[in-house]
């Protein structure tokens, strides 16, 4: 009888352990649900630490799903009125100094946005990571005192900005706290460190992050969210080319 009871306990413990094992793809799906929303309105600043100077750029963005985004730059004076429009896989910019609208072609996507450590390619990427990557787990780690899953992501297709990524996911809030982005050659291209998060409308969001293009000089770009609103109804006219010249 004791032997049977002992075997039963081992079987239960084994099942309990298996239940605790979470696959990388499952974690990535939960991150995706936590990160994305129907719409969002974001007021933000980028503090760009260049080789020679430090610049602060302020912008307001309207995003609808994962396909449409409109951004207007508000400061400094020389950038004020510059606008960007993303519709699916197309991207346009408008410059008030030339009064011209330009489509950003494929060969220009890796160029820096406003001299920052973010590229147009970063802005164009589908934020639904499960669409782009398969995930496997690495040993757990901590970031800023938070217990994290560590996922190694491998691209599902060739035409992608970063062929692989390593991400640190907060185990409780399912928000990414750190990223390392790699080329197909496994060369490190960019790092992202989330320095502060906030709870808005009962969901977690990034408040401050540091982006660093490791191929560039400088100390990186600080991205700060001043305000964010989720799931407001946005008028269709925002996401049209005509809005660039308004």
The reply to whether 60 falls in a domain is: yes
pLDDT of the residue at 40: 96
pLDDT of the residue at 36: 87
Cα separation, 241 vs 70, whole angstroms: 10
pLDDT at 19 over 80: no
- In this structure, the chain runs to a length of 246
For the chain, report the end-to-end CA distance as a whole number of angstroms.
82
Radius of gyration over every alpha carbon of the chain, rounded to an integer in angstroms: 21
Q: Which domain holds residue 67?
A: 23-245
69-77: average pLDDT:
96
Rounded to 5 degrees, φ, ψ at 225 are: -90, 120
Rounded to 5 degrees, φ, ψ at 64 are: -125, 115
pLDDT of the residue at 14: 36
CB–CB of 22/149 below 8 Å? yes
Cα separation, 136 vs 182, whole angstroms: 16
The reply to whether 218 falls in a domain is: yes
The reply to whether 63 falls in a domain is: yes
pLDDT in tens, 174-191: 999 999 999 999 999 999
Q: Number of folded domains in the chain?
A: 1
The reply to whether 48 falls in a domain is: yes
User: How high is the mean pLDDT of the chain?
Assistant: 90
The reply to whether 155 falls in a domain is: yes
Confidence of residue 21 (pLDDT cuts 50, 70, 90): low
Q: Choose among 216, 213, 181, 179: nearest CA to 194.
A: 179
pLDDT at 230 over 50: yes
The reply to whether 3 falls in a domain is: no
| CATH number for the domain harbouring residue 84 | 2.50.20.10
pLDDT in tens, 122-172: 887 777 899 999 999 999 999 999 999 999 999 998 888 899 999 999 999
pLDDT at 9 over 60: no
Rounded to 5 degrees, φ, ψ at 113 are: -90, 115
CB–CB of 217/210 below 8 Å? no
Cα separation, 132 vs 114, whole angstroms: 26
The region that residue 56 occupies, defined by phi over 0 for left and psi between -120 and 50 for alpha, beta otherwise, is beta
The reply to whether 1 falls in a domain is: no
Q: Does this model's pTM top 0.85?
A: yes
pLDDT at 115 over 80: yes
β-strand partners of 142: 147
State the DSSP H helix or E strand holding residue 141, giving kind and residue range, or none if neither: strand 133-143
The reply to whether 75 falls in a domain is: yes
Report the C-alpha dihedral over residues 73, 75, 81, 84, rounded to 10 degrees.
-20
Query: From residue 30, how far is each of 22, 27, 97, 129, 235 by CA, in Å?
Result: 11, 5, 44, 11, 29
pLDDT at 3 over 50: no
Confidence of residue 5 (pLDDT cuts 50, 70, 90): very low
């Amino acid at each position: 009888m004791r032997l049977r009871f002992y075997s039963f306990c081992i079987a239960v413990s084994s099942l309990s352990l298996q239940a605790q094992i979470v696959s990388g793809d499952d974690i990535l799906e939960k991150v995706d649900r936590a990160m994305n929303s129907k719409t969002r309105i974001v007021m933000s600043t980028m503090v760009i630490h260049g080789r020679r100077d430090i610049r602060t750029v302020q912008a307001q963005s309207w995003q609808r799903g994962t396909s449409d985004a409109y951004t207007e730059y508000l400061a400094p004076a020389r950038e004020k009125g510059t606008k960007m429009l993303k519709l699916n896989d197309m991207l346009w910019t408008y410059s008030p100094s030339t009064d011209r609208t330009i489509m950003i072609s494929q060969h220009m996507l890796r160029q820096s946005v406003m001299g920052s450590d973010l590229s147009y390619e970063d802005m164009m990427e589908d934020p639904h990571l499960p669409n782009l990557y398969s995930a496997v787990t690495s040993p757990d780690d901590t970031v800023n005192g938070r217990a994290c899953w560590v996922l190694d992501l491998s691209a599902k297709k060739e035409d992608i900005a970063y062929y692989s990524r390593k991400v640190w996911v907060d185990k409780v809030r399912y928000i990414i706290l750190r990223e390392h982005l790699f080329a197909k050659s496994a060369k490190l291209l960019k790092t992202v460190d989330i320095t502060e998060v906030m709870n808005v409308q009962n969901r977690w969001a990034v408040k401050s992050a540091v982006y660093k293009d490791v191929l560039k000089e400088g100390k990186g770009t600080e991205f700060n969210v001043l305000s964010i609103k989720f799931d407001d109804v946005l008028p269709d006219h925002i996401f049209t080319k005509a809005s660039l010249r308004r």
